[in-house]
A = this chain, B = another copy of it.
Amino acid sequence: MQLNSLIERVEIPARQARSVRVGAGRRVRVTTETGGQVGDLFAFTGDDLAEHLSAAHTRAHVGRLFPAVGEQFVTDLREPILTLIEDASPGRHDMLIPACDPARYRALGVVGAHASCAENLRRVAGPLGREIDVVPQPVNVFMDIPVDQEGDLAWLRSPAAAGASITFEAVRECVVIVSACPQDLVDINGGTPKPLVLEYAAHMEGSVRS
């Protein structure tokens, strides 16, 4: 599927995050060119970006753990923000697990600094005027967390092959922030954090932020 005619490409270096501002009706795509890399996706809208894509409200809205193609993600005010337009991946994405953060790495035995999706979000959102206190639960693209009939979760290595992508369309103008997850202590990224690519349909009001 083609994005709109004007495409901007934003490389997300391994362990870092980038953002794009996406106008209503425009599309944004996340691609794992290497394969096997999870991305934590956040989206904000409204005045001062105070409204956020909410995993919990989205589950209630669609009646499933993750939207199907054609369904919408909603905000904490239950307003549609993104539509899942195309899924050119094995279709394994997660909306149950929070962003990794310093406490997570401390619990895994890390002493000292370790990049995290939570800190990446704060670093990118701050200059956009959104001081992040509580990190919203992300949409974890290419992350495979199956749930069995007892409600037990498994943390599997991302099954996304090289070139796998997922594409969203903005229902409202919003800022989309994607962190190339730096997790290297559990196997979700196969032990090696890798870059991601963010493509979006640029338009007059659009701008790339880093």
Contacts and interface: CB of A to CB of B under 8 A. Distances in A.
Contact of A78 (B55, B77, B103): B103
A59 B96 contact: yes
Nearest to A62: B153
Nearest to A103: B78
Binding site of A, secondary structure by majority: helix, strand, loop or mixed?
loop
A153 B63 contact: yes
Interface of A: 52, 54-57, 59-60, 63-66, 76-79, 96-98, 101, 103-104, 107, 134-135, 137, 147, 149-153, 155
Given A56-B137, A64-B150, 14 more contacts: A54-B98, A56-B96, A56-B98, A57-B98, A59-B97, A60-B97, A60-B104, A63-B152, A63-B155, A64-B152, A76-B135, A79-B103, A134-B134, A147-B147
